[in-house]
């Protein structure tokens, strides 16, 4: 979701997002690797391993998180690093996850350190350690969680701590898109919106999108309005 976007814009943005790996255009290496991971997890009846996606804004990290939840027939719970400023916020989300649900944390590099440390046992052992009382009466209560998949996105992978980064079993960096992929994306989006689009028009829009699907769809909507 883009900051400051109008409700209609947000609705259209979601409408244009692919829902399955077969519909996803571009990022071939990442998509094929994720396809193998998803099929293997489904075959074993286990949750997908934790996934870290990095890359500039607008390249499809949120879309891939949605797709992975769909492919695993799981619910998707979405939040963002800046929103989780207290450990209790994360505890509430984790304890309410169903088995094999997908938790998507955007901008995970902005998680406060204390909240990040709560994630370690949750990711490794599907449990959280909750400290009761203070001082001499302090004691730790271990709360089991249902097995889940954490999909995290970051535009600043260098800001992630090593302990957090090492707990992800799957890591993919998303690159800017080739022109032919952007042409395919804008052509698909135009058909969904019911907007007539010539091949030359699709290429003209794609060339101005700076390698980013979010921008190519935004330009398409402005051209359609015009």
Catalytic residue positions, numbered: 61-62, 106, 155, 214
> Among 75, 77, 71, 125, which residue's Cα sits nearest to residue 99?
75
Q: Which of 62, 58, 63, 29 is nearest to 212 (CA)?
A: 58
Helix axes 213-225 and 7-16, enclosed angle (nearest 10): 120
DSSP string across 165-225: HTT-SEEEEPPPPPHHHHHHHHHHHHHHHT----HHHHHHHHHTSTT-HHHHHHHHHHHHH
Are 92 and 65 a contacting pair, CB within 8 Å?
A: no
> Residue with structure tokens 């993919």?
172
């Amino acid at each position: 979701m883009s900051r400051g976007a109008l409700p209609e814009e947000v609705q259209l943005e979601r409408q244009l997002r692919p829902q399955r790996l077969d519909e996803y255009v571009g990022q071939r290496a990442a998509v094929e690797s994720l396809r193998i991971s998803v099929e293997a997890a489904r075959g074993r009846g286990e949750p997908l391993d934790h996934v870290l996606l990095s890359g500039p804004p607008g390249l499809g990290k949120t879309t891939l998180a949605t797709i992975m939840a769909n492919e695993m027939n799981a619910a998707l719970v979405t939040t963002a690093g800046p929103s989780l400023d207290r450990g209790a916020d994360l505890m509430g989300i984790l304890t309410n996850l169903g088995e094999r649900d997908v938790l998507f944390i955007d901008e995970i590099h902005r998680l406060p350190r204390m909240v990040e440390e709560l994630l370690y046992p949750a990711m490794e052992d599907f449990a959280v350690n909750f400290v009761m009382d203070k001082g001499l009466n302090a004691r730790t209560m271990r709360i089991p969680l249902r097995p889940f998949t954490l999909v995290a996105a970051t535009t600043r992978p260098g800001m992630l701590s090593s302990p957090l980064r090492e707990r992800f079993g799957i890591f993919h960096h998303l690159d800017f898109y080739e022109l032919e992929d952007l042409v395919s994306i804008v052509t698909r989006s135009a058909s969904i919106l019911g907007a007539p689009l010539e091949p030359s028009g699709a290429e003209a829009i794609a060339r101005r999108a700076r390698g980013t699907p979010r921008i190519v769809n935004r330009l398409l909507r402005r051209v359609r309005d015009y």
